[in-house]
Structure 1
Amino acid sequence: MYLIFIAMLALNMSKEVLSAFGLMNERLTESNEAAAERNTAFMAGLVQKANDQPEKYEPLKDKASQIKELANNFNAYLDDLKSKMTAKIDDPTDYEIMDKGDYLDEHFFKGDIIKPDGQEFLKQMKTFREGVAEVLKDNPEMANVVKDVQAKFATDPVKRGAGTVGWLDHNYKGFPLVASLTKMTQLQSDIKTTESEVMSTMLKGTLTSEVSMTNYTTLLRADKSAYFNGETYDGEIVLGRTDETTKPSRVELTLDGRKLTENQYDFVGGKVKLKVNSGNPGEHKIEGKLIFAQDGKEVEVPVSSSFATIPKPNAATISADKMNVVYRGVKNPMTISFAGIADNNVSASAQGLSRVSGSSYVMDATMIKGREVTINVTGKIDGQTVSDNATFRIKDLPKPTGTVRGEDGSLSMQRNSLEISTIGAKFDDFDFELPLTVTGFKFKVPGQPTIQVNGSKLDARAKQALSKAKRGSGVQIFDIEAKAKGVSVILKKVSPVFIELTN
């Protein structure tokens, strides 16, 4: 840009170029006026929101007001400076005569030294730049806005050729008056853009679309999903985007068509907490509306929800977390509960059964001699005792399957791959995560003696025997010894693996 301006000066700056800068300045000025109106309306809407819901919007309004004050101060300074620049020009729209840069060259500079007025210009830039950063520093969502402001209003030295030159010299020294005017109008545009970005980011979009109460939905939330007849229903009607500062000015609600009185609900942390009798078994309707203050007017949010009341239970819910059997040798997790009864009022008993916490139990069937175990459950509610039981089959752990490189059965493999492969074991189609560790196995190469190997990989003797095997011959890995951590029974014999050598 600097080189272009120098070239223009060398050509005595054509009238067409000067007029082009003037037209650009006019368009920027018009755009700035429109942006100022939008920002004023935006701020007025935020002020109204702060009046309607001070706890929610007052902090946002305070920060926006601080940004607006910084913007207004800097913008007023630029307006005053631009007025002084054109004070001696009879027609401020006669851009073709604005080809000199005498005013700013004398106002900002004295030779290579920046005069106090130039220092003031830099100070105004710094005040706005650092002021915005200070106001927004605690808001992570504003990081990009702060970064953008620091870039647009930076006054660091500028690289020119092999050296650097001061920012003020680079941008305003020796330039035509109309070009400097346009640059300052652009600065004012950046100021207004910053205002807009701050407020829109704070509210996640325009006030109309993002904070209007018509965008909220209601949810019915309760501590439990069903209630016994005669209980007090203590559910809460909440907004889908609720917080501690969101509170309706009044409510109009009915339960099964009957209007609720003020002693049947409370306002708690942005919620309407109900205090009504749950009624007879069946579904019950909560309907009506919540009324909120918005922009000085009332906005109604419809409510339409339901809850169910069920009879008191007489049967327990007992389920095995894995399947309808329990296994010897492992800790079988189980969930035991009575519908509608707190876990601390439920007890379960059976050989090998122990409680972990709440409704979580563990069944260890290792010491049980038979093939079945019966679990007896009792629960207490409202001074009454209810009981139930369930019977589970007891099964032994399945037979493990031997593996080589994770594969089982009969497989083909190159000799060098077998040398480095790991011998393993696994339970096929077993519901428990029960990793097995191989501690030894027997290795047989046709025509060679059987070798007992310790560990899970071929040792030196096994590798030597393998080197004598012919291509296509079958190698056997059998009598695999495996164990599982935490298993208290002897595992069944692990199935062997057969490998056909491909080289």
Structure 2
Amino acid sequence: MAGGKQSPRQKMINLMYLIFIAMLAMNMSKEVLSAFGLMNEKLSDANVRATESNKRAYESLALKASEQEKQYGAAKEKTDALKAQADSFYSYLEDLKGKMTADLKDKKDYETMDKSKFLDELFFVSGTITPEGKEFVSKMDEFKKASLEVLGETELASVVSSRFSTDPVKNKDGKQLNWLNYHYEGFPLVASLTKLTQIQADIKATESDALSTLLQGELESAVSLKNYEAMVVFEKNAYYPGEKLSGKIVLGKNDPNLTAEKVTINGKDWPEDKIKAGQVILDGPAGSVGDRAIKGTFTFKENDSLVEIPISGGYSVIPRPNEAVISADKMNAVYRGLVNPMTISMPGVPSNKVSASAPGLSRSKGDSYVMRPGKGNEVTIRVTGTLPDGKRVSSNKKFRIKDIPPALGKVRGQYGTVSMPKASVARTTIAAGLPDFLFDLNLKVVSFKIKVEGQPAVPVTGTKMNARAKQVIAKARRGGLINIFDIKAVVAGSGVPVKRVGGVNIKVSN
């Protein structure tokens, strides 16, 4: 049709062909635009359903997490983080779609949505990408990053990475193009609108996939019999000889619909009437004094195979108590004027069934007591306990009452003879302590006497040198000894006097 000289008739025929082809192209273009519009509607409807489905899944996970926080708490925390990112990105796309169709009177007249002007001007300018275009790509990348952080090393992670990839793309000519240019530059409005709706669908799919992936491991663990643990539970921790053993073996997950096919304990098959839903009833004699082991297996049927769960536990049979156990936390004596901590208990008897009495004795909490002894050289503590069968047993024990041992004077935290300059002696503080004593007592010096060689002794009240003491200190010779003696001290806080306090010497160094 294009070569040689053509007659007017041939030119007319060629023109009619061109008009016919143009008409076909126009009809085809309108059909394509309508197809995009219908696809957008279907995707939008699917997104609504996906939103509702995901909402129910989130609510179900929240309920599980509230009931079993240890098992489902981590999964809920991850999906909550993903949901926040998903909602933000989804709303951003929905807002962008609203701006794209804001000027359209009929938002379903897809055949008129053949222009690319809106996104061409929003995303691109003079061959470069606008801030709005960069924001769009950034939103995509941020959601992908957040999703991958939640999913971790899972098979779904690679799918999500591909689903939200913004890497450069090669066109049909092999030319590498920016992802945004390739997908959104020069495309009809309805095509871009549909692509945005598809991204929203991908967001919902990612949420759904994440919920399934994160919960899959937890659910498999919850329903698999191999992850159950058998626990031996007794009504009490120890038994007396001849006493009836009472207790049960309970599975880690006590399912009322789960009953063992067979139970073997210590080599014997357990009676069927003792095998209950999710547990086995134990009864019979406890045995003689000593430790008793319970070994065996639960046997369950899972699908077409039998699964065995090991049973491992034990209990102790102890002699019936006839004497209380009393121990002083510091030593086998108590000190007059001090608060002496004590522990009073009775084997096999809880602390709330044990009572103790003695002059100066009081209970602090549970089996902890304090003793504040008074006059005399010893004190007797009487302990009474009520056994599980209601019988009462009593026991007495004596403790020596001792005075606070002699203390020693000290200067600068040192005992004995302390060397220091004469000028420092006048400013020093006299203290007292109990070296190697079990109690960490704070003693307060109330008075002392100071004696310098060749000078009369000077009494001092308190811990610091008075004016007279400083006068005699000034007369001390280098190398001479200053004796601090007749020290009087009390226990700080209680005011209990210390009977005797040894002296301390100061050697004048210069």
Match in the other structure for 2:187:
none
* Root-mean-square deviation over aligned CA pairs: 5.5
Which one of 87, 98, 110 corresponds to residue 125 of structure 2?
Answer: 110
Which one of 329, 348, 354 corresponds to residue 346 of structure 1?
Answer: 354
Which one of 118, 122, 138 corresponds to residue 138 of structure 2?
Answer: 122
* Highest RCO, 1 vs 2 (Cα 8 Å, sep ≥ 6): 1
Give the direction of change, closer, same or farther, for the CA distance of 1:485–1:64 in structure 2 (3 Å limit).
Answer: closer
The alpha-carbon deviation at position 477 of structure 1 amounts to 1.3
Q: In the TM superposition, what whole-angstrom CA distance separates every residue of 1:48-85 from its partner, at most 9, and x where no partner exists?
A: xx9xx9976566556666888979x99xxxxxxxxxxx
Aligned residue runs from structure 1 range 1-40, under 5 A: none
**Is residue 2:408 matched to residue 1:392?**
no
Judge conservation of contact 2:488–2:498 (CA < 8 Å) in 1.
no
Aligned counterparts of 2:494 and 2:448: Cα–Cα separation in 1? 20
Judge conservation of contact 1:107–1:117 (CA < 8 Å) in 2.
yes
The alpha-carbon deviation at position 345 of structure 1 amounts to 3.3
Judge conservation of contact 2:337–2:372 (CA < 8 Å) in 1.
yes
Aligned counterparts of 2:75 and 2:508: Cα–Cα separation in 1? 78
Work out which of the two has the higher radius of gyration on C-alpha atoms and give 1 or 2. 2
**Is residue 2:454 matched to residue 1:447?**
yes
Equivalent residue of 1:379, what SS? strand
Match in the other structure for 1:44:
none
Judge conservation of contact 1:256–1:284 (CA < 8 Å) in 2.
no
Which one of 361, 375, 379 corresponds to residue 367 of structure 1?
Answer: 375
The alpha-carbon deviation at position 405 of structure 1 amounts to 1.6
Give the direction of change, closer, same or farther, for the CA distance of 1:235–1:387 in structure 2 (3 Å limit).
Answer: farther
Q: Which runs of 5+ in 1 are unaligned?
A: 1-49, 75-103, 137-141, 143-167, 185-190
Match in the other structure for 1:496:
503
**Is residue 2:312 matched to residue 1:331?**
no
Aligned counterparts of 1:67 and 1:297: Cα–Cα separation in 2? 41
Match in the other structure for 2:386:
380
TM-score (norm 2): 0.55
Give the direction of change, closer, same or farther, for the CA distance of 1:62–1:336 in structure 2 (3 Å limit).
Answer: closer
The alpha-carbon deviation at position 129 of structure 1 amounts to 6.1
Judge conservation of contact 1:401–1:425 (CA < 8 Å) in 2.
yes
Q: Could you tell me which amino acid in structure 1 is paired with residue 243 of structure 2? A: G
Judge conservation of contact 2:228–2:309 (CA < 8 Å) in 1.
yes
Aligned residue runs from structure 1 range 128-207, under 5 A: 128=144
Aligned residue runs from structure 1 range 250-329, under 5 A: 253-260=263-270, 276-277=283-284, 279-281=286-288, 282-289=290-297, 301-329=309-337
Q: Could you tell me which amino acid in structure 1 is paired with residue 324 of structure 2? A: A
Judge conservation of contact 2:460–2:469 (CA < 8 Å) in 1.
yes
Aligned counterparts of 1:295 and 1:119: Cα–Cα separation in 2? 53
The alpha-carbon deviation at position 386 of structure 1 amounts to 2.1
The alpha-carbon deviation at position 261 of structure 1 amounts to 6.0
Aligned counterparts of 2:300 and 2:78: Cα–Cα separation in 1? 24
Which one of 206, 219, 226 corresponds to residue 238 of structure 2?
Answer: 226
The alpha-carbon deviation at position 474 of structure 1 amounts to 0.9
The alpha-carbon deviation at position 320 of structure 1 amounts to 2.1
Aligned counterparts of 1:461 and 1:64: Cα–Cα separation in 2? 78
Equivalent residue of 1:124, what SS? helix
Aligned residue runs from structure 1 range 478-497, under 5 A: 478-485=485-492, 487=494, 490-497=497-504
Equivalent residue of 1:471, what SS? coil
Aligned counterparts of 2:427 and 2:248: Cα–Cα separation in 1? 64
Judge conservation of contact 1:444–1:450 (CA < 8 Å) in 2.
yes
Judge conservation of contact 2:484–2:503 (CA < 8 Å) in 1.
yes
Percent identity for Structure 1 against Structure 2: 39
Q: Which runs of 5+ in 2 are unaligned?
A: 1-60, 90-118, 153-165, 169-173, 183-202
The alpha-carbon deviation at position 400 of structure 1 amounts to 1.1
Match in the other structure for 2:27:
none
Judge conservation of contact 1:221–1:237 (CA < 8 Å) in 2.
yes
Give the direction of change, closer, same or farther, for the CA distance of 1:397–1:116 in structure 2 (3 Å limit).
Answer: closer
Aligned counterparts of 1:474 and 1:461: Cα–Cα separation in 2? 17
Equivalent residue pairs, number? 369
Give the direction of change, closer, same or farther, for the CA distance of 1:63–1:296 in structure 2 (3 Å limit).
Answer: farther
Q: Could you tell me which amino acid in structure 2 is paired with residue 279 of structure 1? A: A
Q: In the TM superposition, what whole-angstrom CA distance separates every residue of 1:333-383 from its partner, at most 9, and x where no partner exists?
A: 322232222334333333333344433333332223xx2333233333323
**Is residue 2:475 matched to residue 1:475?**
no
Judge conservation of contact 1:254–1:286 (CA < 8 Å) in 2.
no
Give the direction of change, closer, same or farther, for the CA distance of 1:362–1:466 in structure 2 (3 Å limit).
Answer: same
Match in the other structure for 1:162:
none
Equivalent residue of 2:502, what SS? coil
Equivalent residue of 1:407, what SS? coil
Q: Name the stretch that deviates more: 371-380 or 456-465.
A: 456-465
Q: Could you tell me which amino acid in structure 1 is paired with residue 344 of structure 2? A: I
